[in-house]
Amino acid sequence: MKIEILGCSGGIGPGLKTTCFRIDEAVLLDAGSGIEHLPIDDLLEIRHVLITHAHLDHILGLPLMLATIYDKHKEPVTVHALPDVIEALKRHIFNWVVWPDFSALPDTRPILNYHPIDTGTTCSIGPYTVTSLPAEHPSPTSGFFISKGGNSFAFTGDSSFHRPFWEAINRLQPQLVIADISFSDEAHSIAEDSGHMTASQLSWVENVLTYKPDLRATHLKVGFEEEIAASVLNSTRLNVKPLIHGETIRL
Ligand SMILES: [Zn+2]
Ligand SMILES: [Zn+2]
């Protein structure tokens, strides 16, 4: 399984894009501004988009992608997400005001399908087994566990420290966990209010984990990347490295 980090920043700026990971050729995990790296031929290969939550930094590329491929697409794109997330996309994005309702276009065979996945349930998506994992964030959010051929990884989505997520990780034992570490410890009150983890909360993760997956930090606040990375080193004996824009992880 190949995971391409198209975007992993908590904001925007030169060289910085928001959350979007491409899994092999046909699956996106979140559709933030990182999607801009994909040329149209690659966008046309996308069949599935897993969305953790409806915050703009994780979805803004989805309506733009659908408009870009609309007249050339050969197969519909299916969005997999919590029922509440799908409802938010329908009500607030694909509502004919902000953007056309691509689940009704073209009327003969719409380009956009929705597939609701409740927290804790597992389904097959192409060659992947996907489990929706619990998360804690101001907007309805799920993490995901994704496996193929004996290789697997998990993503917290945006979430504060949420013990049920890490207990699920112990049960599922993915090789890699990508975790939202948005803030340094100085910003702990902002982190708490906005539902993200701080670097020092990795010590709580360390206390829950019963094995040692590879851990990667994502969604770092723009301008504080070095501070957060240094704080991570001081907070835990776990080996946690920030994701890098443009890197490819192979499992
Ligand atoms: Zn969010
Ligand atoms: Zn976010």
Structural domains for the chain = 2-250 (3.60.15.10)
Whole-number Å distance, alpha carbon 26 to ligand 1 midpoint, is: 24
Check residue 156 and give its pLDDT. Answer: 98
Q: pLDDT per residue over 159-171, tens digit each?
A: 999 999 999 999 9
Question: For residues 100 and 65, what is the distance between their CA atoms, to the nearest angstrom?
Answer: 12
Whole-number Å distance, alpha carbon 72 to ligand 2 midpoint, is: 30
Going 170 to 173 to 174 to 175, the CA torsion angle's sign is positive
Q: What is the pTM of this model?
A: 0.97
Check residue 186 and give its pLDDT. Answer: 85
Whole-number Å distance, alpha carbon 58 to ligand 2 midpoint, is: 6
CB-based contacts of 119, cutoff 8 Å, min separation 6: 82, 132, 133, 134, 142
Q: pLDDT per residue over 210-224, tens digit each?
A: 999 999 999 999 999
Whole-number Å distance, alpha carbon 150 to ligand 2 midpoint, is: 29
The tokens for 66 are 């659908």
Closest ligand, as measured to the CA of 32: 2
Closest ligand, as measured to the CA of 54: 1
Question: For residues 249 and 251, what is the distance between their CA atoms, to the nearest angstrom?
Answer: 7
Closest ligand, as measured to the CA of 139: 1
Whole-number Å distance, alpha carbon 41 to ligand 2 midpoint, is: 27
Residue 188, pLDDT > 90, answer no
Q: pLDDT per residue over 5-29, tens digit each?
A: 999 999 999 999 999 999 999 999 9
